[in-house]
Structure 1
Amino acid sequence: MRLAVIGAICVALIVAIVALAGGPRQSVTALRDARALANLPQVELGPMLSADEGTPDLVVFQDGADGWFELDMAALPEGLRIGFYGTRLIDAFTGNAHVPLYCTGTTQRPGKIIWVVQDAQIVADYAFCSPRRMDLGPLRPFAVSVELVREDLTRDEVEDLELALADDPHRAPVVLPQDISDLTHRRIVTLPHLWVAPQSRGRLYDVEQALQDAIETHLGEAEVSFTRRPQSNPNLVLTPEDGGPQVNGMAIQVGARSGVVPGIWAEPMVIRVACRPEACARLDSLDFTPLIAPARDIEALHAAMAEIVLRAADDPGPTPGLYPTIEALEDDRLEISDPQPVTYQTRYIVRQGGD
């Protein structure tokens, strides 16, 4: 009876220890992490933390799920080494000693990052999304926990932040914008679909140039840039169902199938216009129709549709909605967003004892 009681107590203790450690899965993950970190090549930390002007203003690092830390450079022992994964394929292709790779999305575990900061700019960064690729454990005895704050701020807000940080020992800048424009607002012009024939592709440049000249003249002062519509994939190379030569042209959705319109090259454009409020307001009175007409030849589009090459009937292709339909191509509506303040990304740390 006594042995049974002792055995039950031991089992309960083991269960409690496993539970405190986060359960079997977390324990196995921690063990695999430790083994991977122990097998990393060792590199000297000092050269990694050098800045153009000698000792950097600040070094901060993210140690996975443990969060952010500020490194005490004066306390670092000479010759300190850390585990650091060797050259990867991306490093070899770029010819760089290290290309930082940051985690994206919310499903992955936090990665590991080292930022070397000089004059409120990151002058060197080392990052792995996998927490097993860099061992920051040797730095922890020489670092204190901090909070990293990210904010998108307007011009006035950035100036206020700079003044506040200069007088606050509990905070320090990591990234502040270097060039702040006098053009304080931005509007986005989403154009109707544009297209050109390959043999007259130069016309697209002419259309862009005409748009830029007209906007700058009409507004008085503006910065104009062109990008493609988000999530657009306007052109494809497709092998016909009968195995004939590949065709190249504008992608289009026809019912549940997709295909290519040969002889037509699509450019779904978005224009970003930075301007002052009074100039931004004048954008509403600009007539875009004659400016984009050379890249919206409806008759040429209809004629080219006679030569459309569809994917095989049993090939569903991409998700419906990724490519435009003929109705979407014919739609000549243009959208201009309301003016929005131009913002700049800032980052700073809050030390313990700060607000």
Structure 2
Amino acid sequence: MSAGLLGLLDDVAAIAKLAAASLDDVGAAAAKATAKAAGVVVDDTAVTPQYVHGVAANREIPIVKKIAWGSIRNKVLFILPIALILSQWAPWLLTPILMVGGTYLAFEGAEKIWGRLRGHEGHDAPAATVGPEAEKTLVAGAVRTDLILSAEIMVIALNEVAHEPFFSRLVILLVVALAITVIVYGVVGLIVRMDDMGLALAGRESRTSQRVGRGLVAGMPKVLAVISVVGTVAMLWVGGHILLTGTDELGWHAPYEFVHHLEEAVAHAVPGIGGFLGWLVNTFFSALIGVVVGAVVVAVMHVLPFGKKHGKDGGEEHGAGPAAGEQPATPEADER
């Protein structure tokens, strides 16, 4: 009886060791997959703060939380199941789907540039002053953009663990999805609340704290403006890169080979920083492709009948409701 119990305990210990080893493997694979997707994670972190730029201070964190929950839903409920199913039974569909998303990202980035050139930037008015509907629109737009970036992150991660069994892939990608969401939106939340931290420091007795606090308060609007520009560039870069690599995978090799050979030539020509310069070459051409494709889509959306409403001076999309401090029209006002 005791021998049987000892045998059972040995079996339990062996199973526990196997489970621990499996968890270690999952953690290592998740870390590797996350590192491979780091470039898109940085882009996601840069893109998101622009959606709360100009939003009323008391709505910043609630909006970031809503976008974060939307991001988790994107990854866990939509991207993860679809990616696993397609990778198992129709892997050839992943690239075209990603390219559609890349085109949308390029369109988003190009439209933001178009809006700035025309003087009609989106999200300028605090959403809380315009109304709950405007806030819903803002969050929906951010979640749509996150869907594309998250899809790119998850597919990159999936490619890194494609050799793993189905269940291991599922667990690893779940870890990657949750970890990346926490990292991205934790950093975004920190960025958008930095000015409040500055105000708290400015109110302390220490002169050093006051100087740091005033510097944060004065500098954060500029930092957010820079991040907004970086986010727009990131949309064009990531969208263009998806299209560049996608065309190569679908059989049109010339654009990718041209960029790749130029990247390699620059990387080998300059010792020390050649790798970074080569990356810049790839980034430049990816962004250029994003600008060209995005501009074509913007032109189509603003010329064709179904796009005209979208292109009207930003009125329907961003200007619904009274501006901040402006009273809505009333019958009495009309009579006066």
The structure carrying a bigger helix percent of its residues is: 2
Q: TM range, normalised to the smaller chain?
A: under 0.3
Q: Which has the larger radius of gyration?
A: 1
Instruction: Give the TM-score, by structure 1 length.
Output: 0.20
The answer to which structure has the higher strand fraction is 1
Normalization by structure 2: what TM-score? 0.21
